[in-house]
Amino acid sequence: MPKLELDATDWKILSRLQDDARLSNVDLARAVNLSPSPCLARVRRLEEGGLISRYVTLLDALALGVTVSVFIQVRLERQVEKALEIFERAIAGRPEVMECYLMTGDSDYMLRVMVADVQALERFIVDFLAKIPGVGNLKSSFALKQVKYKTALPLPQAGPAAKTPRSRAAGRDR
């Protein structure tokens, strides 16, 4: 898939949608100084180009009673392709697993898990995680306080001097 050329208006659209995905097309168009029809066409192009992958609603975990946030380092007995596939397939369907990364260093995977209480964490670890074939070692760290949490990616300043991924690589400004 070829990379999209993005101009300052595209960057503004992406920035505004990261802040508020429920923004109506009319309000979005007004915010980026376009009329609604060209704004919608740009949003569709950004979606079709894979830059906008989906729209979600962020829920308040504490208000919903999901109060325990844990980071779990997982080391496999052997880091071979089959073991990686088995582990990743097992993790993919678990709603408690908010994020999962294949890592370098001491652990093979890093998980961020959210559960209601310590008993739910125990059930997750004992009844599920430790039973995945090939899991060799687990280390858990509880998050005491969330200092920073964001979902918006860092974007270049959405202005006339903004650079596109392609123009940056080519060493020229837009």
Mean pLDDT (the chain) is 91
Q: What CATH number does residue 32 fall under?
A: 1.10.10.10
How many CA atoms lie less than 13 Å away from 50 in the CB half-sphere? Answer: 4
With respect to residue 168, please indicate whether it lies within any of the assigned structural domains.
Answer: no
Among 114, 107, 65, smallest CA distance to 87 is for 107
Question: What is the total count of domains within the chain?
Answer: 2
Task: State pLDDT tens for residues 28-72.
Answer: 999 999 999 999 999 999 999 999 999 999 999 999 999 999 999
- Of the two residues 158 and 8, the one the predictor is more confident about is 8
With respect to residue 89, please indicate whether it lies within any of the assigned structural domains.
Answer: yes
- Give the pLDDT confidence score for residue 157 in this predicted structure: 73
DSSP class of 139: E
Q: Does 137 lie in the same domain as 107? A: yes
Cα separation, 27 vs 135, whole angstroms: 50
Q: How confident is the model at residue 158 (pLDDT cuts 50, 70, 90)?
A: low
Vertex 127 angle, CA 88 and 107, to 5°: 45
With respect to residue 149, please indicate whether it lies within any of the assigned structural domains.
Answer: no
With respect to residue 22, please indicate whether it lies within any of the assigned structural domains.
Answer: yes
Parent domain of 12: 1-58
Looking at 39, 58, 77, which one is the last position of a domain? 58
pLDDT at 114 over 60: yes
Structure tokens at 2: 């070829």
Q: What's the average model confidence in pLDDT over 123-142?
A: 98
Q: What is the number of residues in the chain?
A: 174
- Give the pLDDT confidence score for residue 1 in this predicted structure: 52
